[in-house]
Amino acid sequence: MISLSKLVGGTSTVSKELTYEGDESFIPKKLLDFSSKLVPIVVWNITSRCNLKCMHCYAKAGVKGRELSTEQCKKIIADLSSFKVPLILFSGGEPLLRNDIFELAEFAKKRRMKVVLSTNGTLIEDDIADQLRVFDYVGISLDGIKTHDSFRGLKGAFEASVRGLKIANEVVLTGIRFTLTKYNFLELSDLVNLARELEIPRFCMYHLVPSGNATFEDDVDNLSRRRAVDYLIGEAKKEGMEILTVDNPSDGIYLYQRTKDEKILEFLRYRGGDSTGIRLVCIDSEGNVHPNQFWMDYTAGNLLKQDFGTIWYGDPLFKMLREKEKYLEEQCGICKYKHLCGGFRVRAYRKGNLWGWDPSCYVSIV
């Protein structure tokens, strides 16, 4: 996750409150501390159930699978808390389909963890608005004003998501999550304009990762990818909304190449690069631990059978990801920025070589 607003405009909004607790310095002390410790943020796909059928869903959600009970979830939260995990992002499926989601968020908050909700927004109504206050941040997925309904497999989904977005924005820090594909590339600016119109404090553009329902065929070409990032860099210079890109560490390198700002290089030493297995991990609805939310075909262990620390420190793939620079091959292996970037490993893995070139890289490597 790269805050273009922080690196280009020198400002941030949600990140400052959510991650840095108000620290205004260019490299906040909280980030320095976090980067020096091998403790991750947890993405928890707490249910596989979903009320939509998204064509690019990384989790292939929608079909009811096995889920942990409330007490099992609380046991895992207590384990994560004892490990000093700073933040849990509740995702799915659609996490609001769990009747205990607010109870679990409150349980984590009482253990001094930040809690974030990732939702499609369609189930957010006025009657749950006050309950949303338990979350430190709510991210709502929107894929395009024209294409959203077809993406989500439901007529009226866009209208319902925007309604939920407005309700959430009245009570909690809220942002839009937009996944860039070849189908909605031309709608990026429309959604950014909508976010500004609704006074949404944060806009995140996610690069597509082939996983679940999503394939390489759905992705944009790298020229379009660069154009999208160029557009967001321009938007990041404006005030009023934080702009971020996610799941493509080459964005940070590209920004440095454009600006030659040494502060950006300094920041990337702490925040840049794929954080999978280093500062991020995923738990699924059955308690299985995965490198990230796109890597469900690799399981490091199960939290009903092992404590988190044993899995986190003991898994061999996690250990290699923490030293990925020495394993990198192809273009990533010869890139002079590999210590700052290293590509997004699961995307390279989907191409057939875990340590090979990340096909979403669009920067000059020499």
The residue among 65 and 145 whose pLDDT is bigger is 145
- Quick check: 56 pLDDT over 90? no
State the pLDDT confidence band at 15, using cuts at 50, 70 and 90.
Answer: low
The pLDDT of residue 188 = 97
Question: At what angle are helices 222-236 and 250-259 packed, to 10 degrees?
Answer: 60
Quick one: average pLDDT of 18-31?
53
For residue 113, the tally of other CB atoms under 10 A from its CB is 20
The share of the chain scoring above pLDDT 90, in percent, equals 77
Q: Residue 239 falls within a domain, yes or no?
A: yes
Instruction: Give the mean pLDDT of 63-78.
Output: 92
**Spatial distance between the Cα atoms of 267 and 256, rounded to a whole number of angstroms:** 10
Above 60 in pLDDT, residue 366?
Answer: no
Q: Is the pLDDT higher at 162 or at 37?
A: 162
Within a domain: 75: yes
Residue 329 lies in a domain: no
For residue 162, give its domain range. 2-322
Q: How confident is the model at residue 96 (pLDDT cuts 50, 70, 90)?
A: very high
- The answer to whether residue 180 is domain-embedded is yes
53 pLDDT tier (thresholds 50, 70, 90): confident
197-209 mean pLDDT: 97
Q: What is the pLDDT of residue 1?
A: 84
Who contacts 360 (Cβ-Cβ below 8 Å, separation ≥6)?
207, 219, 222, 225, 248, 250, 344, 347
* Confidence bin at 61 (pLDDT 50/70/90): low
Pick the closest to residue 298 from 284, 280, 313, 279 (CA basis).
Answer: 284
Assigned domain for 92 exists:
yes
Cβ atoms of residues 171 and 130 within 8 Å: yes
- Does the structure show a pLDDT above 50 at 34? no
CB 236 within 8 A of CB 15: no
Write the pLDDT tens digit of every residue in 232-287: 999 999 988 999 999 999 999 999 999 999 988 888 888 768 999 999 999 999 99
Provide DSSP, 213-259.
T--GGGSPPHHHHHHHHHHHHHHHTSSSSEEEEES-THHHHHHHHHH
- Report the DSSP beta bridge partners of residue 119: 140
- Across 285-292, average pLDDT: 97
Instruction: Say if 222 falls within a structural domain.
Output: yes
Domain count of the chain?
A: 1
Kindly state whether residue 234 falls inside one of the protein's structural domains: yes
pLDDT digits (tens, 9 = 90+) for 296-330: 999 999 999 999 999 999 999 999 999 999 999 99
Pairwise CA distance, residues 157 & 252, whole Å: 33
| Burial zone of 22 (CB within 10 Å; 0-12 exposed, 13-18 middle, 19+ buried) | exposed
Are the C-beta atoms of 35 and 267 separated by less than 8 Å?
no
Quick one: which of 10, 3, 5 has its CA closest to 263?
A: 10
Of how many residues is the chain composed? 366
In a domain, 238, yes or no: yes
- The first and second tokens of residue 337, run together, are 């920025």
The answer, yes or no, to whether residue 45 has pLDDT greater than 90, is: yes
Integer Rg of the chain from CA: 19
Please write the tens of the pLDDT for every residue from 162-200.
999 999 999 999 999 999 999 999 999 999 999 999 999
| pLDDT score for 36 | 53
Indicate the helix (H) or strand (E) that contains 330: helix 330-334
Q: What pLDDT score was predicted for residue 212?
A: 86
Model confidence at 20, in pLDDT bands (50, 70, 90)? very low
Q: What is the mean pLDDT of the chain?
A: 91
Q: Is 153 left (phi over 0), alpha (psi -120 to 50) or beta?
A: left
CATH number at residue 81: 3.20.20.70
Any idea which residue has 């065929």 for tokens? 217
